[in-house]
Structure 1
């Protein structure tokens, strides 16, 4: 059977996540439990130390998470779903093209397009 301290460790570990758990974050959570009388100072220190040992040991699991994320990104690409970086690249290219068009219009004396690069609707 698992001790109450181990149960608290597991709950914190699961709630916060191994990848994002820092000593400060763990300490804040444990300090709150100590303040509420749910564990002693000594139990709190042991809990934080235990959590940090688990985080260090989870380096392998972070590699697994990275592989999962990489697989997910690949799947999204295969499905043709644009990612944030793809959209930012397209936005940048559009802005550059709009700038080049304005420069060409200025040098040729043509009437510049309205801001935003879209022609006004015929009305």
Structure 2
């Protein structure tokens, strides 16, 4: 699945670069033909880049949401799930330490003895 994601992201980035290069060429040609001023060309390109970045962010958000949904459907733990569990363990360890301090530490079992 990671390979598929990497290929998809690389393709989208490649398309973005090609699109930017193609748009720059089109705008340069329009300036050469006198259909657009250089400043108007630059302004339009900047607007298109901003719009492209906004659309890329929307796509990223959609993909993150979709991936999270797929991970949940597949019952795979996310980084957030693991962090939550680590926090719970930390809180339980603190609570256990307080209880051991208050009531004394119980004798440790020898792990080599077995049951």
Identify if the C-alpha distance between structure 1 residues 112 and 53 changes in structure 2 by more than 3 Å, giving closer, same or farther.
farther
From the two aligned structures, give the one with the greater helix fraction: 2
Which of the pair has the greater relative contact order for Cα pairs under 8 Å at 6+ separation? 1
Gap runs ≥5 in structure 1? 1-9, 19-45, 114-118
Aligned-partner Cα distance in 2 for 1:61–1:55? 10
TM-score norm. by structure 1 comes to 0.48
Mark the CA change 1:64 to 1:93 in structure 2 (over 3 Å): closer, same or farther. Answer: same
Per-residue deviation at 1:96? 0.7
| Pick aligned residue for 2:96 from 94, 101, 115 | 101
Moved more, 59-68 or 97-106: 59-68
Query: Where do residues 36-75 of structure 1 align in structure 2 (5 Å cutoff)?
Result: 50=45, 52-58=46-52, 59-75=54-70
The alpha carbon displacement at 1:70 in A equals 0.6
Task: Give 1:13 shift.
Answer: 4.2
- What does 1:1-123 correspond to in 2, within 5 Å? 13-14=16-17, 50=45, 52-58=46-52, 59-111=54-106, 121-122=111-112
